[in-house]
């Protein structure tokens, strides 16, 4: 059974916005993830951190949501996801750091 996806947006004290995803990101909820990411990315180019440390599964549909925003986001990922982000080439386009 798929783990539900929870998405929250917050701001750190330094003003950096953070989109935190918890659960699984797959084709069943990639559209929700895309909407939340699009809403969190600001037109003024302010940095956005996408926290994927609590994501247990990320398929190609979820991964494809990240690529169009690669120049405006930084990713924080668990050791489980770091190889996927590297192999996909996303780590070459944006900052990916461990938790």
Whether 48 is in a domain gets the answer: yes
Its pTM stands at 0.92
Tens of pLDDT along 6-64? 999 999 998 899 999 999 999 999 999 999 999 998 767 778 999 999 999 999 999 99
* Sheet of strand 48-58, all strands in order from the earlier edge strand to the far edge: 6-11, 17-25, 48-58, 73-77, 95-98
Counted domains in the chain: 1
Whether 1 is in a domain gets the answer: no
Whether 26 is in a domain gets the answer: yes
Judge contact between 51 and 21, C-beta under 8 A: yes
Whether 93 is in a domain gets the answer: yes
Tens of pLDDT along 61-97? 999 999 999 999 999 999 999 999 999 999 999 999 9
CATH number of the structural domain spanning residue 23: 3.30.750.24
For residue 15, what are the domain limits? 6-98
Whether 83 is in a domain gets the answer: yes
- Of the two residues 99 and 92, the one the predictor is more confident about is 92
């Amino acid at each position: 059974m798929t783990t539900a996806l929870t998405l929250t947006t917050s701001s750190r004290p330094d003003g950096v916005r953070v989109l935190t995803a918890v659960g699984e990101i797959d084709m069943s909820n990639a559209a929700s993830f895309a909407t939340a990411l699009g809403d969190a990315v600001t037109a003024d180019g302010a940095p956005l951190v996408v926290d994927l440390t609590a994501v247990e599964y990320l398929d190609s549909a979820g991964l494809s949501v990240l690529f169009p925003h690669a120049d405006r986001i930084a990713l924080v990922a668990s050791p489980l996801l770091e190889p996927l982000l590297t192999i996909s080439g996303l780590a070459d386009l944006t900052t990916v750091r461990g938790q």
